[in-house]
C-alpha cells in the first residue's frame, strides 16, 4: 500500500489525557480514533492488526472443532428474563425501548442467544457436543472507560460456546480450550498467567482468566514467582497473600501484580439450560439438561495489550504475527526520479513475492519525518532506498527493535528478510 493515500496521517502530539502507551501510539499512528469515552473507530492500520489477531484466534478455534457463526446484537427483553439476567446484569447491559414501548438489550454477551438456538435445533445426544463461536461487538455500560482501547463501552469479542451431554465432557473440553488459548496468546506474543477467578454475572463457579502482567492493568493477581509453577489467583478469590509460600509448588514465594485480563473461560454447567429448557434425550431415552460453557477473548483489548508490551519511547514495535505490514519501504528524496523508480521497482517485486509492504512514496515529507513515522507505526522491517544506500550497492535494512542497519543488494533482500 502507498503511504501517500493511507488514511489518516500520523500526528506528533499525544492525545489529551492519554495515560497509557496504547492510547498514545495507536491514536498518533492512526490505528484508532475516539468518538466518545469508551467508543473507538478502528482505522485501516488498526483493522489490519485486528484482522491478524482474529485470524490467529480463528485458526485455533477451528482446530478444536469450532464452527463460526454470527448472532444478532439487538435482543428482546424476554430472553434475558428467562435467566433473570435482565435484572441481575442491569448495571452492565444497555437496555432500551422502541417507539412502541418494546424493550431490548444491546448484546453484552450471548449465552442466552446461543441457548435459544440450542433448544430449537438440538434434541438428542447424537447432536452433541456442539462448539460455535463468533467475532462480534459487545456493548457494556462501563463506569470508567479508560486505558485507551483496553476498556471500551463497545468492543470486539471472540466468544465461543460449547454444549455437552455431561459434566465430564464439558470439563474435558474446558481444558482443551485452555490449551488453545495458551497457543493463541503465545502466537500473539503475550505471556499470560492462567488465573483462577470469580464468575461475575455469568456463574457462581470459579473461572479462569488469562492475565498479562502490566502496570496499566486494572486487575490485581497473586502469582507464584516461579514461572514454571504457574499458580495464579485473582485478588477477588485469592486465598494467598504476597510474600507467602506458594500453595502449589510449596517452595517459591507469592508475588502481587497488576494485570490486564485478555481472556476468560467459564464452565457454566446446567444453570442456563435448566432455566431456558434446553434438554436432550440420552441413549436410554432420559431427558437431561445440556452442559454448557462459554469462552471469551477481546481482540481490541488484545491489540492494546500488545502495544503495552511492545513499544519504546518512539512508538510501537509490532511482533511479526500481528503487524499491519511486514515491510516498511521508505524512499528518501522521492522527488528524484532515480529514487522513485528504484523504490517502485522494489515495491512491485516484494508485493509479487506476497510480502505485505507499506511504501512511503510521499514526496513532500522530510527524511526525518519518514523515519519518525516508521518508528511510530512500528512495522518490524524497515527498508530504505536513498542516494546513500544506492551508492553502497543496494537498500538499507533495519529491524524496528534493533539499532544497527545493514546494506543489502536488492537481489539479496528477500533472502535476507527470510533470515
Q: How far is the CB of 379 from ligand ATP (least distance, A)?
A: 25
Please provide the size of the chain in residues.
419
* C-beta closer to Mg ion: residue 154 or 360: 154
Q: How far is the CB of 112 from Mg ion (least distance, A)?
A: 18
Cell of 163: 454444549
208 binds ligand ATP (CB under 6 A): no
The gap from C-alpha 269 to its chain's centroid, in whole angstroms, comes to: 26
Residues 6+ apart with CB under 8 A from 389: 395, 396, 407
* C-beta closer to ligand ATP: residue 200 or 393: 200
| CA dist 208 → 73, 119, 197 (Å) | 26, 27, 6
Out of 29, 152, 315, 394, which residue is the one contacting ligand ATP (CB under 6 A)?
A: 152
Residues 6+ apart with CB under 8 A from 320: 326, 380
262 binds ligand ATP (CB under 6 A): yes
Q: How far is the CB of 376 from ligand ATP (least distance, A)?
A: 23
Place of cell 489529551: 16
Out of 22, 234, 264, 374, which residue is the one contacting ligand ATP (CB under 6 A)?
A: 264
46 binds ligand ATP (CB under 6 A): no
DSSP codes of every residue in 249-262: TSSSBEEEEEEEEE
24 binds, among ligand ATP, Mg ion, none (CB under 5 to 8 A by kind): none
Q: How far is the CB of 10 from ligand ATP (least distance, A)?
A: 24
Taking the alpha carbons of 163, 164, 166, 172 in that order, is the dihedral positive or negative? Answer: negative
The count of other CB atoms within 10 Å of the CB of residue 215 is 10
Pairing of strands 154-164, 130-139: antiparallel
Out of 140, 311, 328, 362, which residue is the one contacting ligand ATP (CB under 6 A)?
A: 140
Q: Stretches 51-59, 173-181, 242-250, 290-298: which one binds ligand ATP (CB under 6 A)?
A: 290-298
Q: Can you tell me the distance from the alpha carbon of 165 to that of 155, in angstroms, rounded to the nearest whole number?
A: 32
Out of 48, 75, 164, 301, which residue is the one contacting ligand ATP (CB under 6 A)?
A: 301
| CA dist 177 → 161, 216, 223, 300 (Å) | 11, 27, 22, 20
The answer to whether 276 and 83 are in contact (CB under 8 A) is yes
142 binds, among Mg ion, ligand ATP, none (CB under 5 to 8 A by kind): ligand ATP
Number of residues that bind ligand ATP (CB under 6 A): 16
The answer to whether 302 and 53 are in contact (CB under 8 A) is yes
* C-beta closer to ligand ATP: residue 26 or 379: 26
Q: Can you tell me the distance from the alpha carbon of 373 to that of 358, in angstroms, rounded to the nearest whole number?
A: 12
**What does the CA dihedral 349, 351, 353, 354 come to, rounded to 10 degrees?**
180
155 binds ligand ATP (CB under 6 A): yes
Out of 112, 261, 360, 373, which residue is the one contacting ligand ATP (CB under 6 A)?
A: 261
Out of 27, 106, 157, 357, which residue is the one contacting ligand ATP (CB under 6 A)?
A: 157
Q: Can you tell me the distance from the alpha carbon of 105 to that of 354, in angstroms, rounded to the nearest whole number?
A: 44
* C-beta closer to ligand ATP: residue 3 or 211: 211
Out of 297, 346, 350, 376, which residue is the one contacting ligand ATP (CB under 6 A)?
A: 297
Q: Stretches 41-49, 55-63, 294-302, 378-386: which one binds ligand ATP (CB under 6 A)?
A: 294-302
Q: How far is the CB of 222 from Mg ion (least distance, A)?
A: 17
- Minimal CB distance residue for ligand ATP: 298
* C-beta closer to ligand ATP: residue 12 or 144: 144
Q: How far is the CB of 384 from ligand ATP (least distance, A)?
A: 37
233 binds ligand ATP (CB under 6 A): no
Residues that bind Mg ion (CB under 5 A): 264
Cell of 256: 502481587
Q: Can you tell me the distance from the alpha carbon of 299 to that of 52, in angstroms, rounded to the nearest whole number?
A: 10
298 binds ligand ATP (CB under 6 A): yes
Place of cell 533470515: 419
Which helix (H) or strand (E) segment holds residue 303: the answer is helix 299-309
180 binds ligand ATP (CB under 6 A): no
Q: Can you tell me the distance from the alpha carbon of 366 to that of 391, in angstroms, rounded to the nearest whole number?
A: 20
Which residues sit at the interface with ligand ATP, rule CB under 6 A? 140, 142, 151-152, 155, 157, 200, 261-264, 296-298, 300-301
Amino acid at each position: 500500500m502507498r503511504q501517500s493515500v493511507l488514511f489518516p496521517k500520523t500526528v506528533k502530539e499525544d492525545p489529551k489525557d492519554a495515560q497509557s502507551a496504547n492510547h498514545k501510539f495507536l491514536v498518533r499512528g492512526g490505528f484508532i480514533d475516539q468518538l466518545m469515552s469508551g467508543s473507538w473507530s478502528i482505522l485501516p492500520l488498526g483493522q489490519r492488526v485486528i484482522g491478524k489477531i482474529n485470524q490467529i484466534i480463528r485458526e485455533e478455534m477451528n482446530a478444536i472443532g469450532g464452527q463460526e457463526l454470527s448472532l444478532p446484537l439487538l435482543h428482546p427483553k424476554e430472553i434475558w428474563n428467562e435467566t433473570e439476567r435482565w435484572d441481575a446484569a442491569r448495571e452492565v447491559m444497555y437496555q432500551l425501548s422502541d417507539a412502541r414501548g418494546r424493550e431490548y438489550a444491546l448484546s453484552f454477551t450471548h449465552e442466552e442467544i446461543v441457548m435459544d438456538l440450542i433448544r430449537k435445533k438440538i434434541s438428542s445426544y447424537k447432536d452433541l457436543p456442539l462448539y460455535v463461536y463468533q467475532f462480534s461487538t459487545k456493548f457494556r455500560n462501563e463506569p470508567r472507560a479508560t486505558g485507551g482501547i483496553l476498556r471500551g463501552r463497545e468492543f470486539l469479542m471472540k466468544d465461543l460456546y460449547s454444549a455437552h451431554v455431561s459434566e465430564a465432557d464439558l470439563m474435558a473440553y474446558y481444558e482443551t480450550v485452555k490449551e488453545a488459548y495458551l497457543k493463541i496468546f503465545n502466537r500473539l506474543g503475550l505471556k499470560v498467567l492462567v488465573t483462577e477467578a470469580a464468575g461475575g454475572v455469568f456463574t457462581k463457579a470459579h473461572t479462569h482468566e488469562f492475565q498479562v502482567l502490566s502496570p496499566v492493568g486494572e486487575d490485581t493477581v497473586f502469582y507464584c514467582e516461579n514461572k514454571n509453577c504457574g499458580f495464579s489467583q485473582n485478588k477477588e478469590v485469592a486465598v494467598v497473600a504476597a510474600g507467602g509460600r506458594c500453595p502449589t509448588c510449596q517452595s517459591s514465594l507469592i508475588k502481587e501484580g497488576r494485570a490486564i485480563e485478555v481472556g476468560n473461560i467459564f464452565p457454566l454447567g446446567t444453570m442456563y439450560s435448566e432455566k431456558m429448557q434446553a434438554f436432550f434425550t440420552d441413549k436410554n431415552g432420559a431427558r437431561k439438561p445440556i452442559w454448557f460453557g462459554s469462552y471469551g477473548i477481546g481482540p481490541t483489548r488484545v491489540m492494546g495489550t500488545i502495544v503495552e508490551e511492545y513499544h519504546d519511547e518512539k512508538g510501537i514495535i509490532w511482533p511479526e504475527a500481528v503487524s499491519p505490514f511486514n515491510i516498511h519501504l521508505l524512499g528518501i528524496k522521492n522527488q528524484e526520479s532515480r529514487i522513485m523508480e528504484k523504490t517502485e521497482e522494489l515495491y512491485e517485486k516484494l508485493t509479487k513475492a506476497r510480502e505485505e509492504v507499506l511504501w512511503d512514496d510521499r514526496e513532500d515529507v522530510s527524511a526525518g519525518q519518514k523515519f519518525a513515522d516508521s518508528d511510530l507505526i512500528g512495522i518490524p522491517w524497515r527498508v530504505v532506498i536513498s542516494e546513500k544506500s544506492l551508492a553502497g550497492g543496494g537498500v538499507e535494512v533495519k529491524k524496528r527493535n534493533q539499532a544497527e542497519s545493514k546494506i543489502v543488494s536488492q537481489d539479496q533482500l528477500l533472502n535476507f528478510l527470510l533470515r
